[in-house]
């Protein structure tokens, strides 16, 4: 009921249509028993007496009722489907909007395939809750009650005889419901595992092939697929057992009615029309009972999917955007004071970090892998929240900035460039209509990407395909430079931005990078120490702590950790 109440909150914008659907459901429940009743009347009151005009009148009424029932049934089917679709559309939009606000830590710990399942398969299941679940169950229950009321009104003894097999049907229906509920849960889990496996391995197909793991991964896939198949076959097995059993129970009930009714007809205690109508009533009565188990499981699947979706929507793993500071322009002064940060509990990857970057300065962060360099720039952009300490930009705590404004003033170029399956223009502007093609080409010329873009078929309209597969690594990196510079940020962050390009390409864009940094506060992370020799300040990190600070020359004179890194790179280059 708690989940259904949450679902109803999405129904509120469409209350008029929902109440109309409820009305149609009630109308169908009362229209269903009318046909057997009028057939009984036709046989006993007109056919038996040879009243042809009266019989024709009843036939007209029956035809009218059938047409009315067909119209109501059509409207019920359409509106139940319509409400289901508009609601899952709203839920899917709300869920995706929620995902956009979640912090990166959430995505670090959650398989992408699971999120895809929540946003696609689980939400799609909710449509059945409205088209074949809740509304249909209510309609079935109302129809059962109405039919029972009419049957007792006509002949209570015959009704009791016809209901002799009802306990058997209820027991078999309950067993079926419980078995199929477990099976459907297994199916949902198998689908989630299948989506996660496929998404992960298709994305990482190059790793699978590089390390010759195709056969092994194929065996894993076959096992996951086998479990998916087994879960589905179990559900088919329960269906194949239940419905024949239900048919047999119904046939026994009809047989009892025919036997008892025939005795009554021969004894002139029961009219033939009553007997015929009871056979029809039984068919109408048993059908919703048979279907109700399946509908309960549809509802149960919807409840399970809803629980997963609402659990995701209830996630508080988002960056608090409570700041209201919205400056038009920044100087770009950055100060970190006693910053501590951990991705997991208190396993700190940054320990008491303090340093300052003044307007127009270039500061380089160096250190071994895992030293905490990328963590620092992630904190400045508020992709993660610090555990202790403060980060200030122009003297204002970054938590006081409106999040979108803060990130608008910071241009970030990452080592791993992600491009969407779209045009170069879209990948640079990300759909921002305020950025013109002229601005894009100006930024492209600044970073040295203009020539290669113009050589591509269609220029800015060239489709880079999924993840930029039709471009070289260097070209993708250049597009990421343009993407950062087109917003003209006051703060520029380069996270090993040239590590993916060859030495020749790096030399070509190094001058452009220097132009990008001119007049801007810049923080650079680089493995190649040769690229940061001109930095105003170099901060050396080791195991999450600052161990040395100075210029390239002063750090070499110090003969410490930076000197060791420098000498190791010189040996590597010599080899």
Q: 423 lies in a domain?
A: yes
Cβ–Cβ < 8 Å for 440, 466: no
| Per-residue pLDDT, 158 | 85
- Is 1 a member of any domain? no
Can you give the pLDDT at residue 70?
92
Structure-token pair, residue 4: 């259904």
Residue 391 pLDDT: 93
Domain count, the chain: 3
Shared domain check, 439 and 374? no
Q: Indicate whether 516 belongs to any domain.
A: no
Residues 256 and 289 in one domain: yes
Structural domain for 445, as ranges: 416-488
Q: What is the DSSP string of 176-233?
A: HHHHHHHHHHHHHHHHHHHHHHHHHHHHTHHHHHHTT-HHHHHHHHHHHHHHHHHHHH
Across 265-419, where does the E strand assignment appear? Answer: 334-342, 348-357, 362-367, 388-393, 396-397, 410-413
Residue at 322 is within a domain: no
User: What pLDDT shows up at residue 133?
Assistant: 65
Q: What is the pTM of this model?
A: 0.70
C-alpha 329: how far from chain center = 37
CATH code of the domain covering residue 352: 3.40.50.300
Statement to judge: residues 213 and 361 lie in one domain: no
Same-domain pairing of 172 and 38: yes
Query: Is 321 within the bounds of a domain?
Result: no
Q: Indicate if 401 and 430 belong to the same structural domain.
A: no
How far is Cα 373 from Cα 411, in angstroms, rounded to an integer? 17
Predicted confidence at residue 278, as pLDDT, reads 85
For position 571, what pLDDT does the model report?
66
For residue 131, the model assigns a pLDDT of 67
Buried b (16+ CB within 10 A) or exposed e, 521-557: bbbbbbbebebbeebebbbbbbebebebebebeebbe
Same domain, 228 and 373: no
Same domain, 135 and 16: yes
Question: Is 3 a member of any domain?
Answer: no
- Does residue 354 sit in the same domain as residue 276? no
Please, what's the largest Cα pairwise distance for the chain?
Answer: 121
Closest CA to 482 of 519, 446, 452: 446
pLDDT score for 335: 93
| Same domain, residue pair 432 and 389 | no
Q: What is the CATH number of the domain that holds 279?
A: 1.20.1560.10
pLDDT, one tens digit per residue, over 397-420 is 999 998 888 888 888 887 777 788
- The pLDDT value given to residue 267: 82
Per-residue pLDDT tens over the stretch 518-571 = 788 989 887 767 667 788 899 999 888 999 899 888 888 888 888 888 787 766
Domain termination residue (choose one: 258, 287, 313) = 313
Q: Which of 259, 284, 313 is the last residue of a domain?
A: 313
Residue 453 inside a domain? The answer is yes
Residues of the chain under the 70 pLDDT cut: 1, 131-135, 211, 293, 497-509, 512, 528, 530-531, 570-575
Say if residues 314 and 377 touch (Cβ distance below 8 Å): no
In-domain check, residue 26 = yes
- List the structure tokens of 561: 């950790």
Asked if residue 281 and residue 342 are part of one domain, the reply reads no
User: Using CA atoms, how far apart are residues 530 and 566, in angstroms rounded to an integer?
Assistant: 9
State how far the Cα of 284 lies from the Cα of 35, in Å rounded to an integer.
10
Picking from 329, 353, 489, the residue whose alpha carbon sits closest to that of residue 408 is 489
- CA dist list (Å): 6 to 13, 71, 79, 296: 14, 32, 20, 18
Distance, CA of 152 to CA of 207 (rounded, Å)? 71
Same domain, 286 and 380: no
H/E segment holding residue 409: none
- Could you tell me if 340 and 272 lie in one domain? no
**Cα 91 to Cα 17, 120, 128, distances in angstroms:** 18, 11, 14
Here the tokens at position 353 are: 């970090």
């Amino acid at each position: 009921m708690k989940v259904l109440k949450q679902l109803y909150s999405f129904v509120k914008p469409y209350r008029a249509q929902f109440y109309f659907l409820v009305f149609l459901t009630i109308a169908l429940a009362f229209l269903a028993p009318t046909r057997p009743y009028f057939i009984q009347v036709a046989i006993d009151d007109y056919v038996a007496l040879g009243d042809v005009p009266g019989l024709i009148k009843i036939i007209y009424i029956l035809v009218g009722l059938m047409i009315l029932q067909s119209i109501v049934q059509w409207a019920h089917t359409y509106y139940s489907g319509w409400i289901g679709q508009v609601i899952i559309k709203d839920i899917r939009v709300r869920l995706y909007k929620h995902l956009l606000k979640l912090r990166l830590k959430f995505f670090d710990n959650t398989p992408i395939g699971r999120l895809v399942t929540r946003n696609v398969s689980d939400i799609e299941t909710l449509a059945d809750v409205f088209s074949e679940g809740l509304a249909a169950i209510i309609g079935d229950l109302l129809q059962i009650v109405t039919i029972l009321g009419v049957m007792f009104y006509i002949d209570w003894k015959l009704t009791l005889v016809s209901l002799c097999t009802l306990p058997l049907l209820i027991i078999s229906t309950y067993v079926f419901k419980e078995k199929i509920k477990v099976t459907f849960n297994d199916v949902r889990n198998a689908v989630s595992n299948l989506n996660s496996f496929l998404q992960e391995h298709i994305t990482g197909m190059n790793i699978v092939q590089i390390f010759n793991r195709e056969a092994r991964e194929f065996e894993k896939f076959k096992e996951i697929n086998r479990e998916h198949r087994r879960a589905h076959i179990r559900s088919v097995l329960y269906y194949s057992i239940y419905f024949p059993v239900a048919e047999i129970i119904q046939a026994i009930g009809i047989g009892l009615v025919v036997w008892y009714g025939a005795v009554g007809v021969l004894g002139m205690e029961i009219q033939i029309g009553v007997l015929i109508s009871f056979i029809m009533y039984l068919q109408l009565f048993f059908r919703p009972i048979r279907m109700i188990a399946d509908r309960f499981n549809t509802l149960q699947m919807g409840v399970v999917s809803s629980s997963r979706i609402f659990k995701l929507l209830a996630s508080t793993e988002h960056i608090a955007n409570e700041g209201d500071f919205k400056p038009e322009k920044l100087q770009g002064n950055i100060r970190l004071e006693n910053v501590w940060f951990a991705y997991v509990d208190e396993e700190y990857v940054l320990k008491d970090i303090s340093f300052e970057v003044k307007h127009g300065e270039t500061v380089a962060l160096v250190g071994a892998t895992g030293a905490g360099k990328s963590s620092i720039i992630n904190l400045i952009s508020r992709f993660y929240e610090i555990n202790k300490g403060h980060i200030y930009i122009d003297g204002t705590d970054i938590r006081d900035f409106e999040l979108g404004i803060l990130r608008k003033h910071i241009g970030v170029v990452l080592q791993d460039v992600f491009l969407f399956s779209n045009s170069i223009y879209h990948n640079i502007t990300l759909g921002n209509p305020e950025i013109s093609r002229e601005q894009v080409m100006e930024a492209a010329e600044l970073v040295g990407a203009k020539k290669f873009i113009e050589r591509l078929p269609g220029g800015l309209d060239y489709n880079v395909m999924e993840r930029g597969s039709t471009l070289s690594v260097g070209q993708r990196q250049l597009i990421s430079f343009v993407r950062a510079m087109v917003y003209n940020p006051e703060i520029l962050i380069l996270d090993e931005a040239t590590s993916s390009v060859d030495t020749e390409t790096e030399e070509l864009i190094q001058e452009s990078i220097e132009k990008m940094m001119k007049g801007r506060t810049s923080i650079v992370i680089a493995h190649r120490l040769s690229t940061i020799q001109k930095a105003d300040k170099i901060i050396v990190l080791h195991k999450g702590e600052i161990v040395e600070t100075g210029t390239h020359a002063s750090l070499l004179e110090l003969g410490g950790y930076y000197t060791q890194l420098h000498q190791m790179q010189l040996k590597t280059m010599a080899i």
